[in-house]
Structure 1
Amino acid sequence: MHHEFLGLAIDEWGSVVAILGGLGGVVGLIIKMTSVMNKLQNSIDTLNATLHGLVNDNRVLTGRVDGLEDKLEVHIGEAKVRNQRITALEKEVFNHHEDN
Structure 2
Amino acid sequence: MHHQFFGLFIDEWASLVAIGGGLGTAIALIMRAVLLPLKNSIDNLNQTIKALGNTTKDNARRIDKLEDRFEEHIGEAKVRNQKIKALEHEVFGRSEGE
Query: What's the TM-score, normalizing by structure 1?
Result: 0.70
Task: Measure the CA separation in 2 of the matches of 1:73 and 1:25.
Answer: 72
Give, in whole Å, the separation in 2 of the partners of 1:21 and 1:58: 55
CA distance in 1, matches of 2:19, 2:51: 48
Give the alignment partner of residue 83 of structure 1, picking from 83, 88, 92: 88
Aligned to 1:95: none
- Name structure 1 gaps, 5 residues minimum: 89-100
Counterpart position of 1:98: none
TM-score, normalised with respect to structure 2: 0.72
Higher RCO, Cα 8 Å, sep 6+: 2
What are the equivalent positions in structure 2 for 1:49-64 lying under 5 Å apart? 49-64=54-69
Using the alignment, how far apart are the partners of 1:38 and 1:12 within structure 2? 37
Match of 1:94 in 2: none
Identical pairs, percent: 10
* Amino acid paired to 2:83: E
1:12 deviates by 6.6
**Structure number, greater radius of gyration:** 1
Deviations 1:21-60 (A, max 9, x none): 1122113322222211110010000000100000000000
CA distance in 2, matches of 1:18, 1:58: 59
Equivalence map 1:42-53=2 (5 Å): 42-53=47-58
Which moved further from structure 2: 41-50 or 18-27?
A: 18-27
Alpha-carbon RMSD: 2.3
Matched, 1:8 2:21: no
CA distance in structure 2 between the aligned counterparts of 1:26 and 1:20, rounded to whole angstroms: 10
